[in-house]
Amino acid sequence: MNSKFSKFQIITLLVFGLFIVVGVATFAFYKGNSSSNTLTAITVWGTFPKNTFDQYVVKISNNSSPQINVTYTQKTPDIFISSLISALARGQGPDAILIPTELLLPLEDKLALIPYTAMPQRTFLDTYVQESNIYINQNGVMGFPFTLDPLVMYWNRDMFNAAGIATYPKYWDDFTTLNKSLTTKDVNGNLRKSAIALGQFSNINNAREIFGSILIQAGNPVTGIDNNGHLSSTLTSANLSVLDPVIKFFAQFIDPSSVNYSWNKSMPDSKSAFLSGNLATYFGFASELSDIRTKNPNLNFDVALLPGPKGVGAGATYGRMYGFSLLRSSPNLDSAFKIISMLSAPEYLGPLSDGLYLPSVRRDVLANGSTDSYISLFDRAALVSTTWLDADPAVSGQIFSDMVQSFASGKKSISQTVQDAGDLYNNALNQALTQ
């Protein structure tokens, strides 16, 4: 890192730090009318489905005192950040946002941190699943977790039974032996049925999340704090010993010369292949269960935790977590905090999770257990769910893809591939922090 870049980073962090202090101070010293039986109406923007959210608010408002009034606007993820930043520049932004953590980083300096006097850090840690730690800042909490959708593995029982395989793969290494029995080709060598869809990002659903999960399982958090206290990419030459086997593992399935060749870019997307009964395993979110059932009621499948490397214990899986964050520009911070606290209460989040058929973000709700075979598994996935502070999901997904494709095609050495990916990702992170 050159000296000019270091100075720029220092200036950026000083400005960012000032924003944090202002955000905490604004929230900490904002005084609402605590004796009032009404709460000021608030506006919330997000990418969470509007119908689900509005119904949720109505149920709570009808059973609470004081009643709450929330106007919610749903926007698509691709325009959310730009729309919000433009609105804030005009002084027309909402009081709070409801977004997945993958969109959090570019908006950090816009947030009013919830001070630990209002939400003690220990209380937060004890209340929410481990992935929620992404909201923790040294000066406060960046948001309240709302929903969690973990990545899991769907597997075709009929394909496994026909191949004489009694159990689903628990480890990634299992696929190197299962491939021989589950992947079939025609007389011309064209793939007809596949054990696993990995390696080709363009037609693999959730490829970014799958690859990110494997990186984290291997010990690479994707982004982290460097020695200078800056958020930076961990896709670096210094971590090549971890990255090398991950990239090679991911890429082998699209290599026609590999004994584990099972996928290519001419295949349909991985979810369609699974639905048609031509893909033995599909890595999708827990929320996809209903869609899979609906689109092919005759598909004989089950669900399992995402595979992991052997000897790693509990493993890890990507989780798409939605959370509420307050905006420091809001004139209604006290009311917004109270309303969001109500919306995040266990007596409401429990039924919400049940209705969505997803695990809860709260440990006390998960502790109640479930007799439902799918929910009990999703609950286990929730406890090992993880994510990272990302510059932009589309950008990181493309960087992951380029990294694998550059190696698979032989265009670059693996060390050059990693170095280029790290440089690109650091540039993206710097841009996200200075929006």
Q: What digits encode the pLDDT tens for the residues 187-217?
A: 888 999 999 999 999 999 999 999 999 999 9
Tell me which H or E stretch contains 196: none
Residue carrying structure tokens 């406890």: 383
The answer as to whether 4 is a domain residue is no
Q: Are residues 333 and 256 part of one domain?
A: no
Q: Is 258 exposed, middle or buried (0-12, 13-18, 19+ CB in 10 A)?
A: middle
Q: For residue 1, is pLDDT > 50?
A: no
Give 422-426 contacts, CB < 8 A, sequence gap 24+.
422/233, 422/234, 422/235, 422/236, 422/237, 424/399, 425/223, 425/233, 425/235, 425/391, 425/395, 425/396, 425/399, 426/232, 426/233
**Helix or strand (DSSP H, E) at 306:** none
Whether 267 is covered by a domain: the verdict is yes
Least trusted range by pLDDT, from 8-22, 213-227, 306-320: 8-22
Longest pairwise C-alpha distance within the chain: 78
* Rounded Cα distance, 120 and 58, in Å: 29
Give CA torsion, residues 178, 271, 214, 108, to 10 deg: -170
Return d(Cα 316, Cα 381) in angstroms, integer: 8
Question: pLDDT at residue 15 above 50?
Answer: no
Identify which has the larger pLDDT, 17 or 260. 260
% the chain with pLDDT above 70: 91
Range of the domain at 87: 14-148+320-386
Helix (H) or strand (E) holding 385: strand 385-386
**One domain for residues 219 and 281:** yes
Q: Report helix angle 207-218 to 393-409, nearest 10.
A: 80
Same domain for 246 and 354 = no
397: how many CB neighbours lie within 10 A of its CB? 18
Based on its alpha-carbon atoms, the radius of gyration of the chain, rounded to whole angstroms, reads 23
Kindly state the average pLDDT of the residues 141-159: 98
For residue 338, count other CB atoms closer than 10 A to its CB. Answer: 18
* Nearest-angstrom CA–CA distance, 361 and 148: 6
Bridge partner residues of 321 (DSSP):
148
Q: At 236, list the tokens.
A: 């670096």
**Does 346 reside within a domain?**
yes
50 within a domain of the structure (yes/no) = yes
292 pLDDT exceeds 60? yes
Tokens of 392: 């932009």
Nearest to residue 277, comparing CAs of 185, 193, 196? 193
Same domain membership, residue 395 and residue 264: yes
- Are 359 and 150 a contacting pair, CB within 8 Å? yes
396 and 295 both lie in a single domain: yes
Verify that 28 and 108 share a domain, yes or no: yes
User: How many CB atoms within 10 Å of residue 342?
Assistant: 17
pLDDT per residue as tens digits for the range 326-376? 999 999 999 999 999 999 999 999 999 999 999 999 999 999 999 999 999
301 and 261, same structural domain?
yes
Contact call for residues 366 and 382 (beta carbons, < 8 A): yes
Q: How many helices (H) and strands (E) does the chain have?
A: 16, 14
Q: Is 97 helix (H, G, I), strand (E, B) or coil?
A: strand
Same domain, 39 and 116: yes
How many separate domains does the chain show?
Answer: 2
Do 83 and 178 belong to one domain? no
Domain end, chosen from 364, 386, 408, is at: 386
| Residue 137 and residue 54 in one domain | yes
Whether the per-residue pLDDT at 19 is higher than 50: the answer is no
DSSP-derived letter for residue 128 is: B
Tokens standing for 404? 């694998």
22 and 88 assigned to the same domain: yes
Q: What pLDDT, on the 0 to 100 scale, is given for residue 312?
A: 72
Strand partners, 185: 191
Question: What is the residue type of 21?
Answer: V
In a domain, 6, yes or no: no
Is the pLDDT at 143 greater than 50, yes or no?
yes
Whether residue 284 sits in one domain with residue 164: yes
Residue 17 pLDDT > 50: no
Residues 112, 26 contacting (CB under 8 angstroms) = yes
Query: Could you please report the per-residue DSSP string of 342-372?
Result: HHT-HHHHHHHHHHHT---SBHHHHTT--SS
In CATH, what number is assigned to the domain containing residue 65? 3.40.190.10
* Residue range 264-292: mean pLDDT, rounded: 97
Asked if the model's pLDDT at residue 36 lies above 80, the reply is no
- Which burial class, exposed, middle or buried, applies to 396 when counting CB atoms under 10 A from its CB (0-12, 13-18, 19+)? buried
Residue 258 lies in a domain: yes
Q: How far is CA 78 from the centre of its chain?
A: 15
Task: Write down the pLDDT at residue 37.
Answer: 63
What ranges in 229-328 are assigned the alpha helix state H?
240-251, 270-275, 289-295
**pLDDT, average across residues 5-31:** 42
What average pLDDT is seen over the chain? Answer: 91
pLDDT for 214 equals 97
Check whether 151 has a pLDDT greater than 60. yes
Domain membership of residue 5 (yes or no) is no
User: What torsion, rounded to 10 degrees, do the Cα atoms 61, 66, 71, 75 define?
Assistant: -70
> Which pLDDT score, from 0 to 100, does residue 434 have?
85
| pLDDT score of 4 | 37
Asked whether the bond before 66 is cis by omega within 30 degrees of 0, the reply is yes
The pLDDT assigned to 64 comes to 82
Does residue 400 fall inside a structural domain? Answer: yes
